[in-house]
Amino acid sequence: MLKIKNLHASIEDKEILKGINLEINPGEVHAIMGPNGSGKSTLSSVIAGREEYEMTEGELIFEGSDLSEMDPEERAHKGIFLSFQYPVEIPGVSVTNFIKTAINAQRKAHGKEDMPANEMLKLIREKSEMLEIDRKFLSRSLNQGFSGGEKKRNEIFQMAILDPKLSILDETDSGLDIDALKVVANGVNKLRREDNAVLLITHYQRLLDYIVPDVVHVMVDGKIVKSGGKELAHELEERGYDWVKPEKTV
Amino acid sequence: MELKDKLISSFLAFEEGLEPDNGMDLIRNQAIKDFEELGFPNRKDENWKYTSLNSVLKHDYSVFPKKEEAIEYRDIKKYLIHDIDTYDLVFIDGIFSSHLSQTTHDKIDVCLMSSALTKDKYRPVIENYFNKVAPKSGLNSLNTAFSREGAFIHIHKNKLADKPIQIINFATGNESSLLLQPRNLVVVEENSHVQIIERHQSLTDHPVLTNSVTEIFADRRAIVDYYKIQNDNLSASLIDNTFIEQKDESNVSVHTFSFGGKLTRNNLNFYQRGERIDSTMKGVTIIEGKQHVDHNTLVHHIEPNCESHQDYKGIYGDSSTGVFNGKVLVEKEAQKTNAYQSNNNILADDKATINSKPQLEIFADDVACSHGCTIGQLDEDALFYLQSRGIPRKEARGLMMYAFANNVLESVKIPEVKKRINKLIASKLEVELGFHNL
């Protein structure tokens, strides 16, 4: 589904990603762990197409198409979704209106008519129930005055609605208490299918107790230095990141 | 000949063509003298520092309108709020069009300034209110000297205007450039309520300059909601002079939507002559190309315990220019005044300009006055967020600009007006706003 080969990326001439290789297949959940500043969030931004980051070398292929020259919205139309670490507040646009605009923008890109209002309401109701989102919440301005937990829940709500092929969850666990974490993880698990995939970016192993990954990668200083099964996450939790560094030279 | 000289020499001919009226000749004669002395404002005048009238005064405007052009309702329907029942005062090249209008004398007077100025029964109202609140200035005096037609609205005590009133001024000017000077008077007595929508619309590519004066009196506990829709074509310019005097516990709001025209100048002055008065000024400006919009406001807090609220938002594209000059004057006696002013602007292109100048002059010591001004670009993080959800960049920009202007619309009390403004904003921003009706 996603093939990344020798990916290098910089921001303002500072190289952050220094040769990433990663392949994600349909049905898989991958986790990328690593210390602060290792480039985890940069990788998610580069996949989603944030303009400030310049891809200087390598390949970024999604379902056979080269993503590197695509605008963020085109990548979204292909089925890539990024759950933001810090969702942006947009006063004056309600959650419902935003979701409606997003759904219809994606449908338009695929040559479809706008979603009928009754279908839209049914979809919103169904997914908000799944994520235990209060109806009142839907008429509030997007992310404005939301608690950290509400913002993250809203991200997964959008993911559930847009039904992407590849979901990148950037530090979705930060700011969530244990109950909210369970709701969010439960939502993500319910959305898992044979034909979609998830890339979890996290600093802590905690989230991986609830969303169990197939592969865990460790990222240090702009490179993936170790990959393994889910047990790798526990090892990292116990021994910290310093332990993996020597492998760089192997 | 300079326009000023032409106007002065036209005055005699204008006067000769008038019917005898309610003592207007003295007022007109004084006004033309004042105009001769004051002339048109120029940029040396502090209030006109950022707006030059040179480009609009250079045309050879005809002052006397030709006879009414044949205009059918279907030609102008789109400029009216037509999905609700309204009283309509439609003027074509300054001349009242009876077949396009709907007036009334049933409990309220919604009729013509020309009737009010000449008929005996209106004499007391004219004597008490006409030219009583508009301050002396070159532009006001010019309008007063030539004032003959416009809207006359008189809401008697304890009456509610049963439907909104639209004042629409069309310019056809098919043969030449045209100067229009509508003169409106709105008198709202105690405990009365009226909603008014005003629009100036040119139907020609010839230059049109409108120098409009509107005086509004809101007596005790009166409520006036006034909406100005300015979306004219690029050969039309508007100088709108609106002066409002309020008495105790009255509530007047003016919303100004400036989306079009070559040059638009709004002089909007509020005079609070009573206590517990509420004055609200709101504006949304969305322009592009080389358009120019200038909002010049004054709130004169004369007595204690009053409030004023100003909220102007502007989105400037291409090399358009905007001005906001908001003056709040709080007299020594006006204790416990609450005056709020906010002016927020987005410069959508590098060459767009906004000059924002708040002016607070406060002589009382127990007041709450605040003002805030922002000038910025759209937030790139927010744009990326919207794009990452599949919303194309252009629509994302439109959505954000719409959201930016949105809170000004919340206070619009006529749903059909709100809907119309929504649509105008959407078309200005070239986005499909399919989201506001869910």
pLDDT tens-digit series, residues B20-57: 777 788 999 999 999 999 999 999 999 999 999 999 99
Closest B-chain CA to A161: B389
Position B422 scores a pLDDT of: 86
pLDDT at B433: 57
Mutate to test the interface with B, among A80, A86, A90 (most CBs of B within 10 A): A90
Cβ–Cβ of B387/A84 closer than 8 Å?
no
- Per the model's pLDDT, the better-predicted residue between B121 and B65 turns out to be B121
Pairs of CB atoms within 8 A across A/B: 87
Cβ–Cβ of A162/B389 closer than 8 Å? yes
Per-residue pLDDT tens for B354-409?
999 999 999 999 999 999 999 998 899 999 999 999 999 988 998 898 888 877 88
pLDDT recorded at residue B236: 96
pLDDT band at A250 (very low <50, low <70, confident <90, very high): very low
Q: Name the residue range of residue A171's domain.
A: 2-249
Say if the Cβ atoms of B390 and A88 lie within 8 Å: no
- B215-224 per-position pLDDT tens digit: 999 999 999 9
pLDDT band at B162, cuts 50/70/90?
Answer: very high
Q: How confident is the model at residue B437 (pLDDT cuts 50, 70, 90)?
A: very low
| Those residues with Cβ within 8 angstroms of residue A140's Cβ, 6 or more apart along the chain or in another chain | A94, A95, A146
What is the value of ipTM here, to two decimals?
0.95
Spell out the alpha helix ranges (H) of B123-259.
123-129, 138-145
Identify the closest residue of chain B to A163 by CA–CA distance. Answer: B389
Residue B431 has pLDDT above 90, yes or no: no
B399 touches chain A (CB under 8 A): yes
Query: Among residues 3-62 of chain B, which lie with CB inside 8 Å of chain A?
Result: none
Chain B nearest C-alpha distance from A82 (Å)? 7
Backbone dihedral angles phi then psi of residue B349, each to the nearest 5 degrees: -135, 160
In chain B, the residue whose alpha carbon lies closest to the alpha carbon of A48 is B388
Q: Please give the average per-residue pLDDT across B192-221, as a whole number.
A: 96
A114: nearest CA in chain B? B434
B367 CA to chain A: closest CA distance, Å?
Answer: 30
Please give the Cα distance from A148 to A247 (Å, whole number): 36
Q: How far is the alpha carbon of A85 from chain B, nearest alpha carbon, in Å?
A: 11
Residues from chain A that touch B434, judged by Cβ atoms under 8 A, are 100-101, 104, 114
Give the mutation candidate from A88, A94, A162, A167 for the B interface (greatest B CB count, under 10 A). Answer: A88
In this prediction, residues A143-167 reach a mean pLDDT of 93
Of B379, B387, B404, the CB nearest to A73: B387
A97 and B392: CB-CB below 8 Å?
no
Give percent of chain A above pLDDT 90. Answer: 76
Sequence ranges of the domains in chain B: 379-438
Least confident of A76-80, A194-198, B68-72, B106-110: B68-72
* pLDDT 10s digits, B411-430: 999 999 999 998 898 888 87
* pLDDT above 90 coverage of chain B, percent: 79
User: Nearest to residue B273, comparing CAs of B130, B368, B132, B131?
Assistant: B132
Per CB-CB distance under 8 Å, the chain A contacts of B386 are 90, 98, 102
Q: What is the pLDDT of residue A45?
A: 96
B410 CB within 8 Å of a chain A CB: no
Nearest Cα residue to B229 out of B263, B254, B253: B254
* pLDDT, average across residues A114-128: 94
Supply the DSSP string of B33-101, one letter for each residue.
Answer: HHHHHH-S--TTSGGGTT---HHHHSS--BSSPPSPP---HHHHGGGS--SS--EEEEEETTEE-GGG-
Count Cα atoms within 13 angstroms, Cβ side, for B386.
30
The gap between the terminal CA atoms of chain A, to the nearest Å, is 29
Instruction: Give yes or no for B390 touching A (CB within 8 A).
Output: yes
Residue A73: which of B379, B381, B391 has the nearest Cβ? B391
Cα of B405 to nearest chain A Cα, Å: 8
Give mean pLDDT, residues B112-134. 93
Nearest CB neighbour to A76, from listed B389, B403, B434: B389
Q: Residue A134 is part of a domain; what is its CATH number?
A: 3.40.50.300
Q: Do A101 and B399 touch (CB under 8 A)?
A: yes
Q: What is the DSSP letter of B157?
A: T
- Indicate if the pLDDT at residue A243 is higher than 80: no
Rounded mean pLDDT, B139-144: 97
Task: Calculate the average pLDDT of chain B.
Answer: 93
Cβ pair B416, B77 in contact under 8 A: no
Question: What is the C-alpha separation between A119 and A107, in angstroms, rounded?
Answer: 13
User: B14-24: b or e for each residue (b if 16 or more CB lie within 10 Å)?
Assistant: beeeeeebbeb
Confidence of residue B438 (pLDDT cuts 50, 70, 90): very low
Q: Report the greatest alpha carbon distance in chain B.
A: 70
Instruction: Please tell me which residue, A94 or B88, carries the higher pLDDT value.
Output: B88
* Higher-pLDDT residue of B352, B403: B352
**Per mean pLDDT, which range of A94-98, A110-114, B129-133, B413-417 is the poorest?**
A94-98
Q: Are B142 and B61 in contact (CB under 8 A)?
A: no
pLDDT confidence bin for A248, thresholds 50/70/90: very low
| B283 vs B265: CA distance, rounded Å | 13
Contacts of B435 in chain A (CB under 8 A): 93, 97-98, 100-101
Judge: A102–B381 Cβ closer than 8 Å, yes or no: no
Say whether pLDDT at B175 is over 80: no
Q: Do A90 and B385 touch (CB under 8 A)?
A: yes
- Nearest chain A alpha carbon to B409: A92
Give B-chain residues touching A91 at CB under 8 angstroms.
Answer: 403, 407
Q: Does residue B407 sit at the A interface (CB-CB below 8 Å)? A: yes
Estimate the share of chain A in helix, then strand, then coil, as percent rounded to the nearest 5.
Answer: 40, 30, 30
**B15 pLDDT band (50/70/90 cuts)?**
confident
Beta-carbon separation of A51 and B380 below 8 A: yes
Number of domains in chain A: 1
Whether residues B387 and A77 touch (CB distance < 8 A) is answered with no
The pLDDT value given to residue A245 = 65
B67 touches chain A (CB under 8 A): no
Residue that wins the pLDDT comparison between B407 and A10: A10
**Minimal Cβ distance to B403: which of A71, A73, A93:** A93
Q: So what's the pLDDT on residue B434?
A: 54
Query: What crossing angle do the helices spanning A148-162 and A117-130 adopt, rounded to 10°?
Result: 130
Q: What is the pLDDT of residues B228-260, one digit of tens each?
A: 999 999 999 999 999 999 999 999 999 999 999
User: Is B342 in CB contact (< 8 Å) with chain A?
Assistant: no
